[in-house]
Amino acid sequence: MDQITIIRPDDWHLHFRDGEMLKETVPATARCFGRAIVMPNLVPPVINAEGVIAYRQRIEAAIPADVDFTPLMTIYLTDKTTAEDIRAAKEAGAVAAKMYPAGATTNSDSGVSSLETLYPVFEALADAGMLLLIHGEVTQKHIDIFDREKAFIDQHLVKIVERVPTLKVVFEHITTKDAADFVAEARDGVAATITPQHLMLNRNDLLDGGVRPHNYCLPVLKRSTHQEALRAAVQTGNPKFFLGTDSAPHAKHRKESSCGCAGCYSAWSAIELYTQVFEDLNALDKLEGFASLHGADFYGLPRNKETITLVRESWTVPESIMLPTGEPIVPFHAGQEVNWKLKV
């Protein structure tokens, strides 16, 4: 097969950032995705309806004039979030709330430190028909960083899913066999997003031969057995798993510093790389479901009507991209060959 046409996909988890960065990140995503779930972990974070409206307007101002693209907005949960905040965010157009354990990843210092206090908020989300999106890691320093996703499932996620049975939950950017198994076996209303980097890489790609900062993301890459479990999960075509790039841009100097930022900026190659993964798995027939159908169905949104076409054509991801600020950014898979290309 040298060409594949699928319904226009959506990205169910990404980071646009803000300000001048939007001039880079929004067009990069809108080139192929019809919609995207936009993460709210700005500085300061998007914690209320006013923030949702203002951030959406800034994103919309960066959409190319000839492109039909819809940002899907989220609210950032804190220990002070109330049920009224949720209802107001819903009125403002937010479709979901994002929960970060405090300190779990970039710009998560304002995140949740006490999950038990948030159950009224979780119930308000269910009542409003909004989804709960979870960065599923504990942050206790005595727990090994490679075990924190499994610990979160055992300590928290099982309880959330059981105690609020009508709440739709997306376990974001899963990285382990434990997470894939949990989602596959969970009740209806539980799903997960999977990134290109966690399908393509394992911790050897981060640490073997020296630290590779541009492969550093959170949750961190795991051992190959977990990578293979994620690949097996998408290969099945199970509708509980769908596309979420977690594309997360950082200027080059911030990734290569003494305390490098977490995140892989994959927007310019993500759909092509997913296609490559599915071809490697002999599962190109499952790509459209994963990329274009399962997420929309889970969110209760209409499927896109347009299509995109990918052709078998080798190209090389640029070594760097210049941001509007004049700073370079190193994209995911920089300098490496990709076998599929979006037909323009």
Would you call 187 exposed, middle or buried from its count of C-beta atoms within 10 A (0-12, 13-18, 19+)? exposed
Which pair of tokens denotes residue 99? 């929960």
250 is in an annotated binding site: yes
Give the three-state DSSP class for 119. Answer: helix
Which pair of tokens denotes residue 84? 């009224």
Of 104, 35, 118, the C-alpha closest to 74 is: 35
142 is in an annotated binding site: no
253 is in an annotated binding site: no
Which pair of tokens denotes residue 294? 């399962």
Query: Which residue matches tokens 């307007």?
Result: 57
Query: Which residues, at least 6 apart from 216, have a Cβ–Cβ distance to it below 8 Å?
Result: 206, 255, 260, 261, 262, 263
CB 333 within 8 A of CB 266: yes
Does residue 276 come out as left (phi exceeding 0), alpha (psi in the -120 to 50 range) or beta? alpha
Of 288, 189, 274, 199, the C-alpha closest to 240 is: 189
231 is in an annotated binding site: no
Active-site residue, from 246, 280, 285, 297: 246
Strand order in the sheet with 74-76: 74-76, 96-99, 131-134, 169-171, 190-194, 241-243
- Specify whether 246 is catalytic: yes
Which pair of tokens denotes residue 48? 């209320």
Of 60, 70, 67, 57, the C-alpha closest to 12 is: 70
Give the three-state DSSP class for 208. Answer: coil
240 is in an annotated binding site: no
Query: Which residue matches tokens 């005595």?
Result: 142
156 is in an annotated binding site: no
Q: Is the peptide bond before 165 cis (omega within 30 degrees of 0)?
A: no
Query: Which residue matches tokens 């960066």?
Result: 62
The rounded distance, in Å, linking the Cα atoms of 110 and 98 is 12
Residues at the annotated binding site for Zn(2+)? 13, 15, 98, 135, 173, 246
Residues at the annotated binding site? 13, 15-17, 41, 98, 135, 173, 218, 246, 250, 262
Catalytic residue set: 246
Residues at the annotated binding site for substrate? 15-17, 41, 135, 218, 250, 262
